[in-house]
Structure 1
């Protein structure tokens, strides 16, 4: 990922794909993700999209632990894009 990706907005097609990719089996995760998209979908960049994709590779329970700040990203998830998206996902109303 290059520096331009932090400012390049994703297009409608990529946004639609990302929303489909973010569908989860656990209601609690869906609530966090739905709120995230309601607030930020118009300003999502390639940087944010990649961080979100990384988080969506997790199991539902591992994702929920991160969303509730029971755990912090480690190993391959300890990256700036994941931390940025996680901070947005954790922001309360």
Structure 2
């Protein structure tokens, strides 16, 4: 639910599609990291996911996976 109701429509679309596709197969530590990332500001998340800014080291691999998902 937190992936779909972000406040920024673009992030609603990106994260809800990603969550629907990936959450069921995520390892617990990766799921915890995703949950932590959802606490970040939508504008920051959008800039990281669209490549306008580099994501913090903590989220880099997760953001890269979200980008790959967007391209598929």
Give the alignment's TM-score, normalised by structure 2. 0.77
- Contact 1:68/1:90 (8 A) holds in 2: yes
1:38 counterpart residue number: 20
- What runs of 5+ residues in structure 1 fail to find an aligned partner? 1-19
CA RMSD after TM alignment: 1.6
- Cα deviation for residue 38 of structure 1 reads 2.6
Rounded Cα–Cα distance in structure 1 between residues aligned with 2:42 and 2:31: 18
The answer on 1:84 being equivalent to 2:61 is yes
2: distance between equivalents of 1:54 and 1:73?
14
Cα pair 2:23 2:31 within 8 Å, conserved: no
Q: Secondary structure, in 3 states, of the residue corresponding to 1:58?
A: coil
Asked whether the equivalents of residues 51 and 84 of structure 1 are also in contact (C-alpha less than 8 Å), the reply is no
SS across alignment from 1:21: coil
Which aligned segments of 4 or more residues in structure 1 are displaced greater than 6 angstroms? none
Residue 21, structure 1, aligned to residue 2, structure 2: yes
In structure 2, the gaps of 5 or more residues are none
Distance in 2 of aligned mates of 1:24 and 1:71: 20
TM-score by length of 1: 0.63
